[in-house]
Structure formats: C-alpha cells, structure tokens
Amino acid sequence: MTFHKEGYTSLAICVLFIFVLNAFISFYFPEAHVVKWIVYILSFLLFVTIVQFFRSPKVNIDTDDKYVLCPADGKVVVIEETVETEFLKDKRIQLSVFMSPINVHINRNPIAGVVKYFKYNPGKYLVAWHPKSSTENERTTIAIENKEGVTVLFRQIAGALARRIVWYVKEGDVVEQGAQFGFIKFGSRVDVFLPLGTEIKVELGQVVKGGRTILAQLAEKPAPVKAEPVKEKAEAADASETVKTARPVKNTVNKKV
C-alpha cells in the first residue's frame, strides 16, 4: 500500500491545518483538556480520512483482450441500453460505477489499445447518481480502440464532492489494459459504453474493484465472407462468352429422297 501522488497537496494542507489548529488550542486554551482531546481526535480522523482516500493499493492485474476490466472501485448503479451521442453516436450498453468517498479513486483502462478520442467537458456538480450527471456534470470522455477494431468509450464524471478530475492520456496514446488513466477526488462516477452484443458479467448493485473485476466479455466479430476466387470467376466469364459467341453449324449433308 502506497500513497497516491495526487494526494500530496491535500495531505500537506491537512497536516498544516492540524498543526495550526492544535497549536492555537494549546496556546489559548491550555487548561481546556476536554477541548484539546476532542481536537486531537478530530485531527486524527481527518488525517486518516485523507490517507485512506488517496491510498494506492498494489493490484495484480490479469489482462485479456476479450474482457473489459472495471475502471474503478465502487458499486454498479446502472446497466442499460442507451445512445452515446458525443462520439460513437450509436446504441450502446451503458454500465456505470459509483465511487463513494471511502473507495480507492484511481481509474484504470478497461481495455488495451489506441486512444481514438479524448475530450474534457466543464459542467455542473450534480450528485453522481443523478440521471443527467453523465451529460451535464464536469467530465472527461475517452474512447479506446483495441487491435480487433472494437471501441469502448468511458467517462470520468465529477460529483457533488468531487471537484477535480485528473487524467493522464491523450489522443493517439497506446495504453495498456489495467494501467492508470486518471484520478477523481472525493466521490464520483465512471460510465462505460460497450458495444451491443457484449456479455455483461456483473449485476446491478454489485461491489466491483478497479482492474480486477471483469465487467464484460466482448462479442467475437463475425467471420468475413469468403470472396470467390479470381480464377474461378475468370473461367466462368470465359464460358459465358463462348456460349454467347457460338454459332450453329450449317448442315451440308443432302437429305436422301
């Protein structure tokens, strides 16, 4: 277990605040032992909260191109068919994961491939489970295309508490499945848009883990139609041409009377 780099500033501010608060109480209220103990306890709880929120546990990730990994820790709150209107502009299966403040907030790539689309959208700060948070809240939209040509789109969505989205990718990047692509601070949501026909492996309300839980299995692409060999086509064309140009042979044998 380590401390994530995105929490360095928050931890520094927290430690400074605790130091100043405790120094103030000790200097101006040296005899208020009950108040000091209350402040000590609250300071400890605040410090633990910051540390646990920005924790970065070691994760063993098993990669597989046919599976879609969960991009974040949390709980599945949406599984439905919808229309993705920003980039794909077609019907998709939307799967949403809500991250509470006590979850690990590291975001991971659900598949490996090339980043075909990235866009940051400023917006509102509706609660993460609000139906319109996916389209109206501050968010980033990322689409990755794998080596089979299948595109999976996903969004980091800020919530009522999450006021900062961090991302580490851009268009054209080649990314690995399970690698970190971003971080959202203090509660949020991640939406994943999967192709129709994808086999969903989780249930509504299920607790999931980023980089470890398999969200879905991508459908295999249909085998290409085998083209007719060129040689056979040429032979067929020659035969057809022979039939068209053939003329009846004149009968030169005299009929016997």
- Residues annotated catalytic, as ranges: 188
Ramachandran quadrant class, 86 (left: phi over 0; alpha: psi -120 to 50; beta: rest): alpha
DSSP, collapsed to helix, strand or coil, labels residue 78 as: strand
Q: State both tokens at 223.
A: 């085998």
Q: Which residues of 221-252 are buried (b: 16+ CB within 10 A; e: fewer)?
A: eeeeeeeeeeeeeeeeeeeeeeeeeeeeeeee
Provide CB contacts within 8 A for 217, sequence distance 6+: 66, 67, 68, 198, 199, 201
Residue whose C-alpha is closest to residue 209's, from 6, 51, 61: 61
Q: 3-class secondary structure for 109-161?
A: CCCCEEEEEEEEECCECCCCCCCCHHHHECEEEEEEECCCCCEEEEEEEECCC
